[in-house]
Structure 1
Amino acid sequence: NFREQFPDETALFLFDSTISLDSLKAHGFEVYRRLAPDLIIGKLKTNNQTQRKEGSHYGSSQFEINNLWKLSPDLLKKESYKEIINGKFWLHVSDLSAFQEFAIRNNYLKIIINRRGYFLIELKQTSLNYLLEQPFIQYVGQEATMPKNEATVLDLNLHPNRINAVHHIYPALKGQDQILSLQEPLYDIDDIDLSGRYVESSLESEFTDVHATQMATIAVGAGNSFITGEGVAGKSLHTSS
């Protein structure tokens, strides 16, 4: 039995049926990644023998795994872990102090951004395998950090999502006393359909964007310009982040 031979080792668990994360946690499982409703990567980590015995019954099968599960799909496909590389990568770590001590000891690694367990780092002439071997590193990815504008919205049609039906049945439901935050570049807060309801966030970008204005209109447009300027919640406050 793998669990008896390698207690507290990270493993792939295949269950007989879907099990909630709360149930897994209650029976001593520490879940690192959920691959499917009945498939997780994690540990059965508990010193309570009764809890361990009950928890082991949840898993119909347990499999030993290597560290490649920590890689993003793109890095895994590129087989980047086989190369000496440079570049910026996002990490998720389970132990902040252990990772920070690790970063101090290794001058090839520079921390650029720290976001509560998620780090953007810069690597110089090193192997990703060295990172993957660290038990406190649970994810390595190379996602793009520069946003790209989406396609332009040519008109506003609320019918596909039945928003027009909601407006008809609940005419007083306009988003009053709500604040909607748009994670877009700053939009035209003086637009006739948006003005007078903006809440400063101190997170605004330094430039405005037409697409962001269109997204804001879809969400909270008041319909002052025309019927196509009426959004989902026309009286909601709004902010940009």
Structure 2
Amino acid sequence: MTTTQPIQSTSRLMQTVLAKVKESQIWLVFLASVFLVCVPVFFQAPLVRQWPELTLVLTLGWLGISWTLLKQPTTWVWGDLLLGFSWSWLTGAIYWGWLRWEPLLHLPVEALGVPFAVWCLYRGWGKVGNWFYLGSLFGTAVTDGYFYITGLIPSWRQLMHVEPALALPIFQNALQIVSTPWGISWAVGFALFLFGVGVFPLQSKEQHWWAFGGAVLSTILVDSLFLIAACLA
């Protein structure tokens, strides 16, 4: 055995370990993306109805945490992801805090961060967070499209003008629309479309594509939970 053989064996072992670590981190990025899409829906939405100003100010907190994590080599990916989440949180706070009564403004407001995201991606900076933000926005666009196609926009407007305790009849009416062959066929079609768009990036080993895929696929999860909630109501 030559002296180079132990060195080569150690090198291969290190490469294997690093590959395993990167693979596990990719999955963590994916799961974190799913979680961060769910946070605005189940935490920010009720918070912003009561304290819109506080919700808006909290964006600075997310940005501060993101900046702190970005400065550390071991945590930069989480800071990057949190930066993209900050855009989703900011635009969500603006819309649901002051403009939620008009569905036509939902997607334009949620897309306010797109120029910044595109500029950053053009410069090759913040890929994980910006692709997460774009994936989340893509899922939002598909969900809004379903509302328009199936005629659920009037129900949306009604829900925004009543107290939660009085929302049951509106939910029941919306559920009747969703339960029609038209509503079911479009729901299945959009779900399959989201699944395809979300799964395709997972063929890559790049973290930013897994952030994008996680954000897109989580749209199916969130929409399904809303449907279940409507059925239980």
TM-score surpassing 0.5?
no
Give the structure with the larger helix fraction. 2
When you count strand as a share of all residues, which structure comes out higher?
1
TM-score normalised by L of structure 2:
0.21
What TM-score do the two structures reach when normalised by structure 1? 0.21
- Greater RCO between the two (CA within 8 Å, min separation 6)? 2
Larger radius of gyration: 1
